């Protein structure tokens, strides 16, 4: 596999395009394509392991959560909907919940789209779903506009998996300040995304 500028991408899976990940997930979902799953595994498992260890899991826990996550990716690829989320976001969400379920030893309460009480999303226009797929770059751009005091808290939430109370203690800030900075940060990200549409 080569990119448009001729570089060999197959040797460095971390440089594969997000679209390739989406296509591989579709191949796994539609046709149980083993080569596609191997590509997903090779690209994502080493990152997932790094992410889990960074957020405080022991190597043993990281391996268990990695297994739970990749097993769910294989089993649930049939449910992956590219118009709803990017492949990397979909996998991240599975990993996140696998981690929470391991720690809590029970399943986190979550809405079920097959529940007859569930209110479905309004149908999206083609442009909206295209925007959604380009989200990662646009979100990164929007995040670059955040003041450092807000960015710090977002980093601690996502990269260190800290609770609001832990952040408040560590930064010696009132809990209300931590919460209001989170609200300001996401308000700003959404406003930037809308402005750049």
Partner 1 sequence: MTLKHHISDDTLLAYVNGTLAETLSVVVATHLAICPQCRKHMDLMLSVGSIYLDQSKPVELSSNELDLCDEIMLSPQEKPSTVHRQSLNTAADPIRSIPKPLSDLLPCDIDDIPWKKLVPGMSHYPLKGHANSDGKGALRLLKISPGMTLPEHSHSGQELTLILRGSYIDEVGRFAAGDISDLDDSLHHQPVADTDKDCICLIATDAPLKFKGFFSRMLQPLIGI
User: CA geometry: angle at 69 spanning 64 and 74, to 5°?
Assistant: 125
25 near partner 1, judged by CB under 8 A: no
Choice from 135, 151, 152, 173 touching partner 1 (CB under 8 A): 135
104 near partner 1, judged by CB under 8 A: yes
Site string for partner 1, 27-56 (x = CB under 8 A): --x--x-x--xx--x---xxxxxxx-xx--
User: Helices 126-133 and 135-143 sit at what angle, rounded to 10 degrees?
Assistant: 60
Residues 74-93 that bind partner 1 (CB under 8 A): 74-79, 84-86, 88-89, 91-93
Residue 185 CB, shortest distance to partner 1, in Å, is 8
Listed residue (83, 82, 193, 194) closest to 138, CA to CA: 193
Q: Look up residue 180 and give its two tokens.
A: 């209001």
169 near partner 1, judged by CB under 8 A: no
Listed residue (38, 98, 112) closest to 68, CA to CA: 98
Residue 5 CB, shortest distance to partner 1, in Å, is 21
């Amino acid at each position: 596999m080569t990119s448009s500028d001729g570089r060999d991408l197959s040797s460095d899976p971390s440089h594969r395009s997000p679209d390739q990940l989406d296509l591989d997930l579709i191949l796994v979902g539609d046709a149980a394509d083993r080569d596609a799953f191997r590509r997903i595994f090779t690209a994502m498992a080493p990152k997932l392991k790094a992410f889990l260890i960074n957020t405080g899991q022991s190597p043993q826990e990281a391996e268990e959560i990695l297994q739970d996550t990749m097993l769910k990716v294989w089993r649930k690829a049939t449910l992956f909907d590219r118009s709803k989320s990017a492949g990397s976001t979909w996998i991240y969400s599975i990993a996140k919940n696998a981690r929470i379920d391991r720690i809590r030893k029970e399943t986190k309460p979550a809405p079920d789209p097959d529940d007859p009480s569930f209110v479905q999303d309004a149908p999206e226009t083609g442009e909206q779903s295209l925007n959604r797929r380009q989200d990662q770059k646009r979100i990164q751009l929007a995040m670059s506009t955040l003041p450092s005091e807000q960015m710090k808290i977002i980093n601690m939430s996502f990269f260190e998996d800290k609770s609001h109370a832990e952040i408040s203690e560590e930064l010696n800030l009132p809990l209300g300040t931590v919460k209001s900075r989170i609200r300001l940060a996401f308000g700003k990200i959404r406003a930037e995304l809308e402005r750049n549409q």
